[in-house]
Amino acid sequence: MSVPLESSWAIYRRMARYAVPHWRVIVAALVATTLFSAADVGFVAMMKPLLDGSFVQKDLTTIRWIPLAIIGLFLLRGVAGFGSGYGMQWVTQQIVAGLRRDMFARLVQLPVSYFDRNSTGTMLSRFNYHTGVIASALMVATYALREAMVFIGQLGLMFWLSWKLTVFVLVVGPPIAVTVRYVNKRIRGLGERIQSTAGRFAEALDETIKGQRVIKLHNAAKAEQAGFERILQDTRQLAVKVEATTLISGGITQLLAAFAVAGIVYFATLPEMLNEVSPGTFVAFLVALTTLMRPVKVLNSFNQQVQLGVTAAREVFAFLAEPVEPAGGGLRLQRARGHLEFEDIRHRYQADAPEALKGIRLTIRPGQTVAFVGKSGSGKTTLLSLLPRFYDPVAGRITLDGHDLRDYALNDLRAQIALVDQQVRLFNATIAENIAYALDPHPSEAQIIEAAQHAHAWEFIQKLPKGLHTEIGENGVQLSGGQRQRLAIARALLKNAPILILDEATSALDTESERHIQEAVEELVVGRTTLVIAHRLSTIQRADLIVVMQEGRIVESGRHEDLIAQAGVYASLHRMQFQE
């Protein structure tokens, strides 16, 4: 990927920008967090009057107020804890939604070439997994903040109870910190690797699900299983390794803390310390010290989580930095006449790939129907995908009504083109919504029905349980290829664009469907400049112009009769099809 990686600081700054609009909630949550920590420390501080006042001196007032104070403190702790957790989760979810919103906005603006280079699995994992990791890192960060407050409070309390004991603790503390740092460093590296295996995991599944027919036909289940097994192994081993390191780090931390506690007990019971340290002071001190370990543990895993989060955020921001499609020029276009000129068009998909188009010159006049024929791989699809600027040619230019396509506003240009192709994309919605997809203004039901009738789709729509309002499953699985294509034709009819791109289905349809589609297409092409990728030569004999392509070049063009008379490539293609 060409996008440069950002430093951790830059990542924090960018994340902060997503948080800033919610500063009020953040401040409220911080106040709640502070109260929560204060209640925590307050409870430990209460140990001293509890033991010294209630038990040792048996002071009556102390005996009465202590239980009430305990209930009060825990009420405060509960309410403040809820406010802090709720507020932080709310902000976290706002941030994640903000990221996902921006990612989606980017996703729909990425050029077609991006989708050629990146698998669906990788993109899905950015949306799900990486933002999820960011969310948990944010939550961990807020807990760490809370624990840091508790930590400072407890330390202050310890100084107040006995500064000598505290100084002693501060001397034995640093070795713990050093160990903790060392172990954390190791975990960081592992975290980055585990994320890359997550991408591989999703990718492998995605490929298997999409390619299940191929896998079945090739009896490749065993081989696929073996490949997946390797990914499983890697993921599993890495996850266990990360857990093991976390466990070891926790264990070492606590063991060292135990050494410290033993030392304190020894130090506090030295004869010269004994009259300075009351039982209440000592117990409160020890409780403060042991509750100090909880923040240490949280802060310990904090680093790991935040590093995971930063790595994930880096991926997300790299995605957000992907260049979007060029916006096009400033030339507005209401309705094109449909005059197209291809001026010496050359195209290649990658700098080092062979040329897919090697100098195409072609004039198409408004309202003409032009059929493109030629072997698979000869460049027909490539040529037509230049019209909606899915790709821009590497050299040469295409003009529409006399202006370079790149001069038009991209939205205006695309509004001129309707596309009916082989992989008809239907969305998980009703038939009516699919026909009227993204049309503005939304057509009336009568208009939708009219379009469906002209597309010869009304016959089968009528027979569906809920007619136009039948939900079609994901990607329209319950419809036949022919039916889907007729829906696409209805959609194109409603869009009523002056330019039509038709990619004929390669798969043979039954004669009934084929006749319907043929009739529907005949209605659709009237008054439009139509470019057809034709696979069955019988459907193009009436075309105004037939363009024969071979290896990225136009080798013949003319009307059917003329090309037959030429006895060239087209004539031999024609002969071959009729023999079949």
Residue numbers at the binding site for ligand ADP (CB under 6 A): 116, 349, 356, 374, 376-382
Closest approach of ligand ADP to the CB of residue 423, in Å = 13
Q: What are phi and psi of 530, to 5 degrees?
A: -120, 130
Q: Within 321-455, where are the H helices?
A: 380-385, 410-415, 431-435, 445-454
Which contiguous run of DSSP H or E holds residue 376? none
Smaller CB separation from ligand ADP, 87 or 379: 379
* Pairing outcome for strands 357-364 and 340-347: antiparallel
Which contiguous run of DSSP H or E holds residue 337? none
Closest approach of ligand ADP to the CB of residue 173, in Å = 60
Closest approach of ligand ADP to the CB of residue 381, in Å = 3
Smaller CB separation from ligand ADP, 356 or 370: 356
In the chain, how long is the greatest CA-to-CA distance?
120
Q: Within 386-466, where are the H helices?
A: 410-415, 431-435, 445-454, 458-463
Amino acid identity, position 356: A
Smaller CB separation from ligand ADP, 116 or 510: 116
Closest approach of ligand ADP to the CB of residue 508, in Å = 18
Smaller CB separation from ligand ADP, 374 or 498: 374
Which contiguous run of DSSP H or E holds residue 2? none
Closest approach of ligand ADP to the CB of residue 530, in Å = 17
Cα–Cα distance for residue pair 545/558, rounded to 1 Å = 5
Query: Is 504 within 8 Å of 536 (Cβ atoms)?
Result: yes
Closest approach of ligand ADP to the CB of residue 391, in Å = 8
The b-or-e profile of 39-49 (16+ CB within 10 A means b, else e) is bbbbbbbbbbb
Smaller CB separation from ligand ADP, 352 or 440: 352
Closest approach of ligand ADP to the CB of residue 351, in Å = 12
Amino acid identity, position 393: P
Query: Is 193 within 8 Å of 238 (Cβ atoms)?
Result: yes
Short-list 310, 293, 307, CA closest to 186:
307
Closest approach of ligand ADP to the CB of residue 254, in Å = 56
Closest approach of ligand ADP to the CB of residue 563, in Å = 18
Smaller CB separation from ligand ADP, 186 or 553: 553
Smaller CB separation from ligand ADP, 358 or 365: 358
Smaller CB separation from ligand ADP, 487 or 533: 533
Tell me the C-alpha to C-alpha distance, in Å, between residue 565 and each of 100, 420, 571. Answer: 60, 31, 8
Q: What are phi and psi of 329, to 5 degrees?
A: -85, -170
Smaller CB separation from ligand ADP, 382 or 530: 382
Cα–Cα distance for residue pair 423/503, rounded to 1 Å = 9
Smaller CB separation from ligand ADP, 302 or 372: 372
CB-based contacts of 99, cutoff 8 Å, min separation 6:
18, 131, 134, 316
* Collapsed DSSP state (helix, strand, coil) of residue 388: coil
Closest approach of ligand ADP to the CB of residue 524, in Å = 21
Closest approach of ligand ADP to the CB of residue 411, in Å = 23
Q: What are phi and psi of 441, to 5 degrees?
A: -75, 155
Smaller CB separation from ligand ADP, 38 or 371: 371
**DSSP codes of every residue in 216-263:** HHTT-HHHHHHHHHHHHHHHHHHHHHHHHHHHHHHHHHHHHHHHHHHH
Query: Is 78 within 8 Å of 30 (Cβ atoms)?
Result: no
Smaller CB separation from ligand ADP, 383 or 490: 383
Short-list 152, 141, 145, CA closest to 38:
152
Smaller CB separation from ligand ADP, 65 or 349: 349
Closest approach of ligand ADP to the CB of residue 1, in Å = 18
Closest approach of ligand ADP to the CB of residue 374, in Å = 6
Q: Within 269-278, where are the H helices?
A: 271-274
